[in-house]
Structure 1
């Protein structure tokens, strides 16, 4: 009589990537926009020909109704201001690049969205932190006994960075 082994349980305390953790929330939204997966969104910089990899973003895939979907979908792109005419003119090249990447006819036509895309809108410039004179004096006093100049300078930079973190949190 063979022994039945207990089923192996999935570990819940293992590290997972952010993409895997957010897949449950992102995939249904992308499906509503016509995308079967995240590939066209995540790999857009590699898929689109220059300069469209920086000036355009895929917004939606519209599939024709009642067909076998062998003809391909219509890709709706958001373009940066001033790039719409150029993107519309190069629409066949954009569709060809997407189809070449996937290896089959995914996109038949490229249309433009009325909503603009502003490149670099997700990047926020941070102003450099200027420590106060009292903080500089405090860090200098704590590191004054270190004899090695390079080590003392490195410790001062570290001390100012750590104090800036604590000052930013208290604001």
Structure 2
């Protein structure tokens, strides 16, 4: 048996994750991971980087509350969009509804609601490395001792602190 061939019944991690996440997303937001994963293609190059689907609000039907199956009614898709690009996205609503409905394969969406807010994850700023102590600090001072330029010396000290601060020894 080839060690690279997949075992029978083996699942990819993404399949397992989607099976776990989809019910939660469906309950809370009315969407699934396939919609989120395909959003770049659905939104197109103009809006893929500045928008994301947030939820789908499905209308409650009187027949549903009475326990009858009244058929499907299209919902309202809420999309988060950054800044002024939301205005341009609003002009493309008709086309975007067609694309989303084409993705689902049936008229799932009748309206789009756009909410202006940041979409990109916030940039995490790294904390400065802890100052070196003991032998590592002395070793770094010896290494930068002959450097004349103050700016270069400071930059090399920052670099050395980051490198030596991990385990006290430079990586090789």
Fold conserved (TM > 0.5)? yes
* Mapped partners of 2:129, 2:78: distance in 1: 41
CA distance in 2 between counterparts of 1:98 and 1:22 reads 20
Alignment equivalent of 1:100, drawn from 99, 102, 105: 102
8 Å contact kept, 1:27–1:38: no
Deviations 1:78-118 (A, max 9, x none): 111112222222111111121223333222211123xx331
Q: Structure 1 unaligned runs (5+)? A: 1-13, 142-158
1:68 aligns with 2:71: yes
Does residue 158 of structure 2 align to residue 163 of structure 1? Answer: no
Distance change in 2, residues 1:87/1:18 (3 Å): same
Shift of residue 122, structure 1, vs aligned partner: 4.1
- Counterparts of 1:73-84 in structure 2 under 5 Å? 73-84=75-86
CA displacement at 1:161 relative to structure 2: 7.3
CA contact (8 A) 1:74 1:109 kept: yes
What is residue 114 of structure 2 aligned with on the other side? 112
Moved more, 96-105 or 53-62: 96-105
Question: Would you say how many aligned residue pairs link Structure 1 and Structure 2?
Answer: 133
Instruction: Tell me if structure 1 keeps the 8 A contact 2:21–2:33.
Output: no
Runs of 4+ in 1 over 4 A off after TM superposition: 125-132, 134-139, 159-162
Whether the 8 Å CA contact 1:72–1:107 is kept in 2: the answer is: yes
Q: Name the CA distance, whole Å, in 1 between partners of 2:26 and 2:105.
A: 21
Measured at CA, do residues 15 and 63 of structure 1 come closer, stay the same or move farther in structure 2, by a change above 3 Å? closer
Q: Give the 5 Å matches for 1:5-24.
A: 17=13, 20-21=16-17, 24=20
How far apart, CA to CA, are the structure 2 residues paired with 1:65 and 1:118? 30
Q: 1:57, 1:117 within 8 Å by CA — same for their partners in 2?
A: no
